[in-house]
Structure 1
């Protein structure tokens, strides 16, 4: 009887690559950076909600209890965004290299650093994508105590994950959506508007987890599920929905018009309201 290929690294690596090859969401790094430039301020606000803060506290508890984060730790934050993780890590005594290609995100991060008197020594900003970093040539192998990637598009295939592990001399942390993520919240709506299903994402927790497991690691794993009632103006709702579905399907002029009609007809007093449920998978493992 042929057993399940738990230790077959090539099997899980190929499975992940197949998911990526069959996904329509893959965009160039430049395109993705431009998308996030436009959403830097709104993203910073959304990730400072009480629910987001509670999830952050749980993850910091995981890092501290495992010894992955302590005073003096050197941390690489891949896809640092507006500093949601880098700043509290510095406040815990760590030194952070914040890798973030989006100029909009970096502007928000710099403002936060200035407001908290955080120096460039405490947070070193590297405005590049992880795909553009060569850990061998830049002498980054085993350079960091913790390599951290929270919901980051920088680590989304076996090669970028391998590179993250090479850069660590201690721990790696990764979180991503389990299930369709924000896109799944709009699937029923999109099907009603266009008659088409939104494709599932290749950026699902199952792929990095099974790959890391096949390498022999046994990471600490947790799942965070949260629901909230989203309330937005009609224009903000349209832009937000387009942001999450445009990677899954072609947005025709007709689909855009139908979306605008849908949001408008389902709004009350100029506000569009929707209940959303999201699941996030997180894992932490020691590489050395």
Structure 2
């Protein structure tokens, strides 16, 4: 799909006619919206787009969670939110794709009235257990896909002071992005990949098994950022580079890799055994250490200000 943006060539106008920039913004936004729609319509609902994927990953999330990692993530998030002047104590917050509660729980501890939403039962079970263990009250926990949420039926339209979509595939197209903004009466926060280098196993195995290159999904920051910019928003944005290592059993890692491969190819019965063979060869004592490098971006904006 070719994208054509409307530009203006400013020339002296003896009649001092006004240039209607709103029309230009609307047309450009619609072009970009159509582009985003086209990309996502061609994307097969691969592993991370399915609740069962996150159900199977939930135990690994809990095991690999460390206080240092969680504190680092929350502090980066909170420092950006502080620039808006929002008082968290008493604020109504919606956390879309809340997962195990890495943002929901510390926000609730600070006095926010948090609604945590996720389509994975496994992830939300971990959130509930953690909230109980840490004696934290989450106002509302909802197991549902964000695609299926009706803002008016739920009473969510412009209800929340802050709506969060942090590193989640839940907000993946213009419809789900608009729904996120529709739930906010003021602030929105979004984070996604700038780029990501997955563990070598993904690239090596996909090349060996399917004779083509492993392709990642389109969950990133570029398209949402441009969508906002073309509407006249100028979000505050912070970039961050990370390298992390997670250890898993060979069986767990094989399941994770296979679920990603289902995104673009049909898995034959012997594929998983070949994946395990690679992991055993490159692992140690039945374990495999996964290493990933990424640059991510987080942005926050006030929907009332352009």
TM-score, normalising length: structure 1: 0.88
Q: 2:281 aligns with which of 245, 265, 269?
A: 265
Q: Which residue of 1 aligns with 2:36?
A: 16
The Cα offsets for residues 185-240 of structure 1, whole Å up to 9 and x where unpaired, read as: 72244213432212241222211111111111111112222113343332222123
Give the Cα separation in 1 of the matches to 2:123 and 2:63.
Answer: 12
1:90 matched to 2:104? The reply is no
What are structure 1's unaligned runs of at least 5 residues? none
Give the Cα separation in 2 of the matches to 1:269 and 1:106.
Answer: 32
Note if contact 1:185-1:277 (Cα within 8 Å) is conserved in structure 2. Answer: no
State how 1:273-284 maps to structure 2 within 5 Å.
273-284=289-300
| Structure with bigger gyration radius | 2
Compared CA separation, residues 213 and 136, structure 1 to 2 (3 A)? same
Give the Cα separation in 1 of the matches to 2:113 and 2:198.
Answer: 32
Q: CA deviation at 1:65?
A: 2.5
Q: 1:167 aligns with which of 162, 174, 183?
A: 183
1:255 matched to 2:275? The reply is no
Compared CA separation, residues 194 and 265, structure 1 to 2 (3 A)? farther
Give the Cα separation in 2 of the matches to 1:233 and 1:73.
Answer: 41
Compared CA separation, residues 103 and 162, structure 1 to 2 (3 A)? same
Q: Which residue of 2 aligns with 1:37?
A: 55
| Aligned residues: CA RMSD | 2.5
Look up the SS of the partner of 2:242 in the other structure: strand
Q: Which residue of 1 aligns with 2:11?
A: none
Give the Cα separation in 1 of the matches to 2:112 and 2:146.
Answer: 21
Q: Which moved more, 1:97-106 or 1:228-237?
A: 228-237
Give the Cα separation in 2 of the matches to 1:102 and 1:274.
Answer: 23
Look up the SS of the partner of 1:239 in the other structure: helix
Q: CA deviation at 1:89?
A: 0.2
Q: 2:129 aligns with which of 96, 111, 117?
A: 111
Q: CA deviation at 1:24?
A: 2.9
Give the Cα separation in 1 of the matches to 2:84 and 2:157.
Answer: 22
Compared CA separation, residues 243 and 225, structure 1 to 2 (3 A)? farther
Look up the SS of the partner of 2:153 in the other structure: coil
The Cα offsets for residues 10-59 of structure 1, whole Å up to 9 and x where unpaired, read as: 12112211221232345797xx1122122212123334363343132111
Look up the SS of the partner of 1:275 in the other structure: strand
Q: CA deviation at 1:86?
A: 0.7
What are structure 2's unaligned runs of at least 5 residues? 8-23
1:203 matched to 2:219? The reply is yes
The Cα offsets for residues 228-265 of structure 1, whole Å up to 9 and x where unpaired, read as: 33433322221232233332433222432321221122
1:143 matched to 2:159? The reply is yes
Note if contact 1:220-1:284 (Cα within 8 Å) is conserved in structure 2. Answer: yes
Note if contact 2:5-2:31 (Cα within 8 Å) is conserved in structure 1. Answer: no
